[in-house]
Amino acid sequence: MGEIELPKVVEGVCSEALFRHKVVTSVLALVILGYERPIAIEQTVQSVHVTETGQVRVLSTRTLYRWLAEYQKGGIAALEPAKRVLESKALGDELIAFLKDEKADDPDASIPELLRRAEERSVLGPDDRVHRVTVWRMLKRLALPTSSRAAKQHADIRRFAYPHRMRMVLVDGKHFRAGAGRLKRVAFFFIDDCSRRVLWAVVGPSESSALLLRGLYDVVRHFGLMDILYFDRGPGFIANDTHAVCVRLHIHFIHGQARYPQGHGKVEAFNKTAHHDILRGMSRAEVDPDFGSLELRLRHYIEHQYNVRPHESLDDQTPEQCWKSDERELTFPRDHEDLRSRFVLTESRRVSGDNIVSVNRTRYEVPIGHRLKWIVVQRHLLDGAVRIVHENKLVQLHPVDLAHNAESKRARQAKTKNESREAPKTAAAMAFERSFGPVDPSVSQSTKGRKDKKGTP
């Protein structure tokens, strides 16, 4: 067997080439010691190989044969990894440069968002069609982030879809930051399961039943009653008020399984889209953190962007087109007053001795006349008012103001008929007069005269 030269290290090579050079050196060293090449390669494959960054690499037999062949042809320079092709006829140099700049400024931007930005800035024409897989491959070649997330693994993941609109409405809350102060906000989105049309959005400081019911009221008022509400186990969804209103509206409600977001994956997919499209940009300084202002922004995005955008799961139809093409009739309440009455709950409460009634851990002052009695309290869930019937009138209660009560004057009670008359002379007073008699003689004469008139001896 002829003499075999070990590969020599040259300057100006990359770390990957040096790693391959080390592996080839191991194989050739075993050959010099008398091992046949297949046995030397097999032993090298079974060894542990660690890169300069501490990463363990697992190599295959085919890879070592290829590296040895490349070294024999071109030396260590041939061990350099192939350079990535950074050109694309499908995308063009202008779009590739645009992708580089956008990813440098916004690494979390999704591929559909990048393509929409390219259309807005005239990098792509209105008739240009670029497949997002092509863009993804180019981003991988450029070693740019693709905003991909690893999917969670569950034992049982099933998809469902109702054939008609308003059979099921999906509800979920998405937390975000708003304004220069990065204030905490949460948005409840109501999504039709069939058409994927986003029906409504409401914004509040935190998840609560009051915020959820306000959104449900607006959805029913504008789009009618749904058959089923599907939501997770957030604070606003498991509240008794939410269940009571669903019962009064004759709506079935379903709670998704805990730690199982894929059970309503359509909502999770929309949340991801909404985050990339608008929610992550809400923390900009020019955004007003007021709830009404944020709701206006979200509804503009829903009506003018998301609902009119072709959806892949709808065969490239828009949610608006799918909604309008459904022939199922919408069901509305009898009238506006009937709808508002469904959001009023009645409860029995006992009034304390100081005219106080407690409702949802809040103490309300009750008008005088109901002390220590059981009364019926009406809770209006839309405006949060608490009312009772007092003297045949519906009176709104207000939380007790302890500081005001401490300084205000007490009400002066009216005198009764018995209190306005002169007090009667008691037996003790009569006995006192008999024992001591009057001191003034004139009083004595007048008293004697009265006794004579009555016939007293």
In the prediction, which pLDDT does 456 show? 47
CA distances from 59 to 30, 65, 68, 148, 454 (A): 17, 11, 13, 27, 136
End-to-end CA distance of the chain: 167
CA distances from 269 to 139, 155, 172, 347 (A): 22, 20, 11, 40
Confidence grade of residue 439 (pLDDT, cut at 50, 70, 90)? low
pLDDT digits (tens, 9 = 90+) for 386-437: 999 888 888 899 999 888 888 887 766 655 555 666 778 888 888 888 888 7
Write the single-letter amino acid at 67: W
Phi, psi of 347 (to 5 degrees): -140, 155
Confidence grade of residue 83 (pLDDT, cut at 50, 70, 90)? low
In the prediction, which pLDDT does 418 show? 59
- Burial category of 210 from C-beta neighbours within 10 Å (exposed 0-12, middle 13-18, buried 19 and up): middle
Structure tokens, 157: 């993941």
Residue 162 has pLDDT above 60, yes or no: yes
Sign of CA dihedral 84, 89, 91, 93: positive
In the prediction, which pLDDT does 14 show? 80
pLDDT digits (tens, 9 = 90+) for 170-192: 998 999 999 999 999 999 999 99
pLDDT digits (tens, 9 = 90+) for 323-381: 999 999 999 999 999 999 999 988 889 999 988 999 888 899 999 889 899 999 988 88
Which CATH number among 3.90.1070, 2.40.50, 2.40.160, 1.10.287 corresponds to the domain 344-407? 2.40.50
pLDDT digits (tens, 9 = 90+) for 280-319: 999 999 999 999 999 999 999 999 999 999 998 888 999 9
Residue 62 has pLDDT above 50, yes or no: yes
Report the interhelical angle of 209-223 vs 240-248 (nearest 10°).
20
Query: How many CA within 13 A on the CB side of residue 152?
Result: 11
In the prediction, which pLDDT does 454 show? 47
Pairing of strands 168-178, 183-192: antiparallel
| Average pLDDT for 45-59 | 84
Sole residue written with tokens 């790693």: 19
In the prediction, which pLDDT does 1 show? 41
pLDDT digits (tens, 9 = 90+) for 265-283: 788 889 899 999 999 999 9
| Contacts for 213 with CB less than 8 Å, ≥ 6 apart | 241, 242, 245, 343, 381, 382
Superfamily of chain region 168-325 = Ribonuclease H-like superfamily/Ribonuclease H (3.30.420.10)
- DSSP label at residue 164: S
Nearest Cα to Cα of residue 375 among 361, 384, 364: 364
Query: How many CA within 13 A on the CB side of residue 153?
Result: 0
- DSSP label at residue 381: T
In the prediction, which pLDDT does 7 show? 41
Percent of the chain with pLDDT over 90: 33
Dist CA 343 CA 216 (whole Å):
10
Confidence grade of residue 8 (pLDDT, cut at 50, 70, 90)? very low
Asked if 190 contacts 211 with a C-beta cutoff of 8 angstroms, the reply is no
Give me the residue spans of the domains in the chain: 15-79, 93-141, 168-325, 344-407
Report the interhelical angle of 93-105 vs 132-141 (nearest 10°).
70
In the prediction, which pLDDT does 49 show? 86
Residue 154 has pLDDT above 50, yes or no: no
Asked if 283 contacts 302 with a C-beta cutoff of 8 angstroms, the reply is no
Dist CA 340 CA 346 (whole Å):
14
Asked if 185 contacts 175 with a C-beta cutoff of 8 angstroms, the reply is yes
Dist CA 345 CA 405 (whole Å):
29
- Report which secondary-structure segment, H or E, holds 393: strand 393-399
Dist CA 112 CA 276 (whole Å):
9
Asked if 200 contacts 222 with a C-beta cutoff of 8 angstroms, the reply is yes
